[in-house]
A and B are shown apart, each in its own frame.
Chain A
Amino acid sequence: MRSHFLAAAVLLTAAGSALLLFAQSRPAPALAGEPYIHDPSTIMFSDGKYFTFGTGSGGLMSEDGWTWHSGAVRPGGGLAPDAIKIGDRYYIAYASKGGGMSGGHAGAINTMWSKSLDPKSPDFGFHDDSVVASTDGVEDCDAIDPSFLLDPNDGKLWLTYGTYFGFIRLVELDPKTGKRVAGNQAINIGIDMEATVMMYREGWYYLLGTHGTCCDGANSTYNIRVSRSRKVTGPFVDNVGIQALKGGGKLVVGASGRFVGVGHFGLMDLGDGVQKFSCHYEADLDRSGRSVLDIRPLLWNNGWPVAGDNLPEGTYEIQSERSGFALELGVDFVRMDRGGRGGGRGAPAGPVTPVPAQELAQVAKDWPAGNLEIRIGDFLSRPHQKWTVTPVASAGGYPGSPYFKITIAGTERALAATADAEVVAVPTFTGAPEQLWRIDQLTDGTYRIMPKAAPDARQPLALVAVGHSTPTLAKFDPKSDLGRWNFRQP
């Protein structure tokens, strides 16, 4: 596999490249701004901003998790850092050598800490930059690509590292200092991966790593895979029983659409059942084939993590997970021809002909002006049930996505939050915060829908099916299906 040096070089040229967007449809765009980075660390939240660091010095920062710019500062240079917050300290680990730097695989992992990641903060400043693990360039391991795990069960701090040069290793650090526990011996837990990272969920330790070819732009085959173990020290086994020590790994995410070469998983647990992950694409074909940061939903399927997709713009049925019914305008139902005598039963008397869909123009002329009630009803693919979800430029966003407007397809009638924490359709979209919606995919693949702001609301609210057929706004309960929705092709 190729060295990370090439990645760093690519980054340098990417920073000055013009943003080139093509018109082809694709699932959803990667992040806004200038999200050019390679080997991003786990994203941290510090001083009201998001930060991630990459290979080389520096990194990206964002006010909202959607629009990213350069500006993060990380001393030490080197390769593929990771970050974790423990107490009031942000610990950073990075490879100060190895990975082909200086032409060899004698790697070294350094850790350091700062009380802030914001260069403008008086608390910003890294301390105790020193080596916690290393390899000699001969042994079957190259100490690069570090990643932290703070075990939620016992509070122990672990560090994985390694690359395609032999073993992936695990060492224990002191969570009070970020330094190696005295006498700790490295454990081999896998082979031939890059950017390994561990996470814990419901009794399982998951070892994720990037397989495939790095640093070859649109030809990179980078993909993220996973194996799991009941013990932090392994053995880690994939879904078909192949150990990570023998090369196993179940696919979490690979290339799709205009995004090629997915690597460097970093968990973002946003709470309330929303988990996302950061990664980089070796090539965003809509951004000159450069390596960019993205944030995507993390789903769980039968105990295995798998990538979700940020919701692309489009026209959808918005289906309640509670009732299976669809969000709709509160207007008179307009019947279609029922299919001749017998209500459509039996073969047609004449030639088989398609039945035209009910069109918006046939029904919208009779819809009342002004605000309309929103309700939940049997989905029949009718105009009052089809919602167009459109990103709103310059309205900001949240980790992974921009805010959306949600309008009845072909109209400007927009879903809006009200001052009494209910929802209505207003006649015209104005861009007001109560008409902007955050849509997060949850770990089960359903979605949470939240207004950017609801008038007079004292807490974040979400769209909730308070009745079988009645929506409202209420605090989201991750243990309930009331606030879960599906976006389906109508």
Chain B
Amino acid sequence: MHTYRKIVLPAMGVLAVLAFQTFSPAPTQAAPADDPPRSIAPYFTLANSSPKVPDADGFLQRWLLLEPINKPNRTNTVFTDTYVRAAMNTEYFPNQFTVVPRNGDKVKVGDQELAWHALDSANFNVKLFRLAHGLNKTTYGVLFWAVTVVDSPREIKNARMAVGSNSASMWWLNGKEAVSLFGDRRMVMDDCVSKRLTLNKGRNVIRGAVINGPGLSDFCVRFVDENGGPIKDLTTKFEN
């Protein structure tokens, strides 16, 4: 996957620029005058400096979330394997596949300036639509990027990354593609599950991208052990 990305990315980057020029990005959806003030509460709280453990079912709730990249799609029926791979392997901002950002870091994508937010989800799933809506950002026709870091007290072999997302998404563990969800998907816990993989003792970087057209974007991610049980002795603590 790395090889494919390195070879294809320059060309895909050009295509992406052309795409943005050809299709008008959806405008930022400013709140109507009579709309109450928007907020990402109660769906998110700002991540604090304390280590965060997964919830009782092992779902990772602390994430660095990038405000949505405009990726206009009027329908989710286009999310074939080929389309999603191309969309996800396009480099939209520098160090997209390696960066572990800090809260408030900003990136430039086309004419968009987008910020990273270090957040704790109040739910097992991460409600990306509510993030975009609460921040008065584009909610439909979007591509979200998410990053988190988990520290494991031990090496865990034969683990699996289990993901559900609305809509399609791709996920990487420590730089290697782990699991991908193609097609017009609704979010189902443990919808797609990676092959057996190893969680390193210490730091592990999880990176994902979720694409949606007219949908209520969200995702849920957890790790399960070789018996299918949730792995819960992980911690996440972002650097300030």
Contact B81 A331 (CB under 8 A): yes
CB under 8 Å from chain A, chain B span 169-212 = 179, 181-183, 188-193, 195-196
Residue B21 is within 8 A (CB to CB) of chain A in the complex:
no
Residue B160 is within 8 A (CB to CB) of chain A in the complex:
yes
B185 to chain A, nearest CB (A): 8
Residue A469 is within 8 A (CB to CB) of chain B in the complex:
yes
Residue A212 is within 8 A (CB to CB) of chain B in the complex:
no
Kindly report which residue of chain B lies nearest to residue A475, judged by CB atoms.
B227
Count of chain B residues with Cβ under 8 Å from any Cβ of A?
20
Contact B195 A472 (CB under 8 A): yes
CB < 8 Å: which of A330, A467, A469, A472 contacts B81?
A330
CB < 8 Å: which of B77, B82, B188 contacts A335?
B77
Contact A469 B82 (CB under 8 A): no
User: When chains A and B are docked, how far (Å) is the Cα of A422 from the Cα of B196?
Assistant: 9
B121 to chain A, nearest CB (A): 21
Residue B39 is within 8 A (CB to CB) of chain A in the complex:
no
User: When chains A and B are docked, how far (Å) is the Cα of A468 from the Cα of B77?
Assistant: 20
CB < 8 Å: which of B162, B164, B183, B188 contacts A333?
B183
Q: Which residues of A contact B191 (CB under 8 A)?
A: 467-470
How would residues 69 to 83 of chain B score, 1 for a CB under 8 Å from any chain A CB and 0 otherwise? 000000001001110
User: When chains A and B are docked, how far (Å) is the Cα of A470 from the Cα of B191?
Assistant: 7
CB under 8 Å from chain A, chain B span 43-91 = 77, 80-82
Residue B42 is within 8 A (CB to CB) of chain A in the complex:
no
User: When chains A and B are docked, how far (Å) is the Cα of A421 from the Cα of B158?
Assistant: 11
Contact B193 A333 (CB under 8 A): no
User: When chains A and B are docked, how far (Å) is the Cα of A332 from the Cα of B180?
Assistant: 13
Residue B228 is within 8 A (CB to CB) of chain A in the complex:
yes
Q: Which of B82, B189, B193 is most buried by chain A, counting CB atoms within 10 A of its CB? A: B193
Q: Which residues of B contact A468 (CB under 8 A)?
A: 164, 188-192
CB under 8 Å from chain B, chain A span 446-484 = 466-470, 472
User: When chains A and B are docked, how far (Å) is the Cα of A468 from the Cα of B189?
Assistant: 8
Contact B183 A467 (CB under 8 A): no
Contact B190 A377 (CB under 8 A): no
Q: Which residues of B contact A331 (CB under 8 A)?
A: 81
A196 to chain B, nearest CB (A): 43
How would residues 296 to 337 of chain A score, 1 for a CB under 8 Å from any chain B CB and 0 otherwise? 000000000000000000000000000000000011110100
User: When chains A and B are docked, how far (Å) is the Cα of A365 from the Cα of B160?
Assistant: 33
Q: Which of A377, A420, A467, A472 is most buried by chain B, counting CB atoms within 10 A of its CB? A: A467
Q: Which residues of A contact B188 (CB under 8 A)?
A: 468-469
Contact A377 B183 (CB under 8 A): yes
Contact A466 B228 (CB under 8 A): yes
User: When chains A and B are docked, how far (Å) is the Cα of A384 from the Cα of B179?
Assistant: 20
Q: Which residues of B contact A335 (CB under 8 A)?
A: 77
Contact B196 A420 (CB under 8 A): yes
A82 to chain B, nearest CB (A): 41
Q: Which residues of A contact B164 (CB under 8 A)?
A: 468
Q: Which residues of A contact B228 (CB under 8 A)?
A: 466
CB < 8 Å: which of B80, B183, B193 contacts A466?
B193
User: When chains A and B are docked, how far (Å) is the Cα of A421 from the Cα of B160?
Assistant: 13
Q: Which residues of A contact B80 (CB under 8 A)?
A: 332-333
Contact B77 A467 (CB under 8 A): no
- How many CB-defined contacts (below 8 Å) exist between A and B? 40
Kindly report which residue of chain A lies nearest to residue B183, judged by CB atoms.
A333
A75 to chain B, nearest CB (A): 50
Contact A472 B77 (CB under 8 A): no
B179 to chain A, nearest CB (A): 8
Q: Which residues of B contact A472 (CB under 8 A)?
A: 193, 195
Q: Which residues of A contact B162 (CB under 8 A)?
A: 467
Kindly report which residue of chain B lies nearest to residue A471, judged by CB atoms.
B193
Q: Which residues of A contact B193 (CB under 8 A)?
A: 466-467, 470, 472
CB under 8 Å from chain B, chain A span 334-379 = 335, 375, 377
Q: From known contacts A466-B160, A467-B162, infer whether A421 and B192 are also in contact, taking CB-CB under 8 Å.
A: no
Q: Which residues of B contact A466 (CB under 8 A)?
A: 160, 193, 228
User: When chains A and B are docked, how far (Å) is the Cα of A225 from the Cα of B192?
Assistant: 45
Kindly report which residue of chain A lies nearest to residue B190, judged by CB atoms.
A467
Contact B195 A332 (CB under 8 A): no
CB under 8 Å from chain A, chain B span 151-172 = 160, 162, 164
Contact B81 A470 (CB under 8 A): no
CB < 8 Å: which of A332, A420, A422, A469 contacts B192?
A469
B82 to chain A, nearest CB (A): 5
Q: Which residues of B contact A467 (CB under 8 A)?
A: 162, 190-193
Q: Which of A377, A420, A470, A472 is most buried by chain B, counting CB atoms within 10 A of its CB? A: A470
User: When chains A and B are docked, how far (Å) is the Cα of A332 from the Cα of B182?
Assistant: 9
User: When chains A and B are docked, how far (Å) is the Cα of A24 from the Cα of B38?
Assistant: 70
Q: Which residues of A contact B82 (CB under 8 A)?
A: 332
Kindly report which residue of chain B lies nearest to residue A366, judged by CB atoms.
B82
Kindly report which residue of chain B lies nearest to residue A467, judged by CB atoms.
B193
A327 to chain B, nearest CB (A): 14
A416 to chain B, nearest CB (A): 15
User: When chains A and B are docked, how far (Å) is the Cα of A472 from the Cα of B188?
Assistant: 18
User: When chains A and B are docked, how far (Å) is the Cα of A469 from the Cα of B80?
Assistant: 15
User: When chains A and B are docked, how far (Å) is the Cα of A333 from the Cα of B182?
Assistant: 9
A367 to chain B, nearest CB (A): 11
Kindly report which residue of chain A lies nearest to residue B194, judged by CB atoms.
A470
Q: Which residues of A contact B160 (CB under 8 A)?
A: 466
Kindly report which residue of chain A lies nearest to residue B226, judged by CB atoms.
A474
Kindly report which residue of chain A lies nearest to residue B188, judged by CB atoms.
A468
**Interface contacts beyond A468-B188, A468-B191, A468-B192: sample of 14 additional A-B pairs, CB < 8 Å, sorted by A:** A333-B183, A335-B77, A375-B192, A377-B183, A420-B196, A466-B193, A466-B228, A467-B162, A467-B190, A467-B192, A469-B181, A469-B191, A469-B192, A470-B192
**Can you spell out 5 A-B residue pairs with CB atoms less than 8 angstroms apart?**
A331-B81, A467-B191, A469-B181, A469-B188, A470-B179
Give chain B's interface residues, CB within 8 Å of chain A: 77, 80-82, 160, 162, 164, 179, 181-183, 188-193, 195-196, 228
Closest 5 CB pairs of A and B: A467-B193, A332-B80, A470-B193, A468-B191, A466-B193
